[in-house]
Amino acid sequence: MTLKVLLVDSLGENPPALAEALRQGGFQVAAVVGEGGDLYQAMHDCLPDAVIIAADSPKRDTLEHLAGIGRRFPRPMVMLAEHADSEARGRAAEAGISVYVLDHLSAPLVRSMVEVTVQHHRRQQALAAELASTRQSLRERRLVDQAKCLLMERDGLGEADAYRRLRRMAMDRGQRLAQAAAGLLSRQG
């Protein structure tokens, strides 16, 4: 599978050597965005698998801009910088930069680095989606338990009977169990 990358040139010069190294590494360079270019539009247009940023030493404004883009278009970002201090690396990490590399790299090393970064990012996205799904399931389970308790207290039912009644209410209304529970609780609240 060919990974599509967006190359961001914060050096103010066209980075043909880096673009060529990426191509030799097996990447499709979807676009190159210069210092004054519209990075949001480029992200929207090409929807890359990863963003590669070529920078001398990343400026705070550049990092804040990248953080905003990372929130809108979550993608792994790799910064290839010529200089950095610990403060710059810290700001880069806060901005969502996945990998921060100082030095020029060979095509195979770039390929390996970006592939691992993309896989790591995909795994994080999958875990985040799983966490969100689990949280939603727990919220729904809590609603069902509260509705069962209401039925048990109000109607003097056992837990199994309260569950069956709630399930019957959901089926009669063509709702999911959690929707029926929320409706019951809202009518009683």
Identify which of 98-102, 111-115, 133-137 has the greatest average pLDDT: 133-137
CA distances from 64 to 52, 77, 95, 97, 98 (A): 16, 13, 6, 11, 15
Q: Which residues contact 18 (CB under 8 A, 6 or more apart)?
A: 7, 52, 54, 80
Whole-structure pTM value: 0.62
Domain 4-105 classification at class level: alpha beta
Q: What is d(CA 39, CA 58) in angstroms, rounded to the nearest whole number?
A: 16
For the stretch 167-186, pLDDT in tens is 999 999 999 999 999 999 99
Task: Tell me how far apart the alpha carbons of residues 94 and 88 are, in angstroms, rounded to a whole number.
Answer: 10
For the chain, the structural domain boundaries read 4-105, 131-188
pLDDT at 99 over 90: no
Question: pLDDT band at 90, cuts 50/70/90?
Answer: confident
- Percent of the chain having pLDDT more than 90? 34
Kindly tell me the sign of the dihedral angle through the C-alpha atoms of 110, 116, 120, 121.
Answer: positive
Helix 159-173 with 107-155: angle, nearest 10 deg: 110
Q: What is the pLDDT of residue 130?
A: 96
pLDDT for the residue 180 = 95
- The yes-or-no answer to whether 4-105 and 131-188 have a common fold is no
pLDDT on residue 163: 95
Question: What pLDDT, on a 0 to 100 scale, did the predictor assign at position 150?
Answer: 94
Is the predicted pLDDT of residue 120 greater than 90, yes or no? no
Q: How far does the chain reach from its first CA to its final CA, in angstroms?
A: 54
Burial of 115 (0-12, 13-18, 19+ CB in 10 A): middle
**Average pLDDT, stretch 77-92?**
76
CATH architecture of 131-188: Orthogonal Bundle (1.10)
pLDDT of residue 103: 63
pLDDT of residue 53: 82
Cα(96)–Cα(78) distance, integer angstroms: 9
For 101, the 3-state DSSP assignment is strand
CA 138 – CA 142 distance, rounded (Å) = 6
In the chain, the amino acid numbered 31 is A
pLDDT in tens, 11-69: 665 566 778 878 888 889 888 887 677 888 888 899 999 888 887 766 777 777 778 88
- The model's confidence at residue 118, banded by pLDDT at 50, 70 and 90, is confident
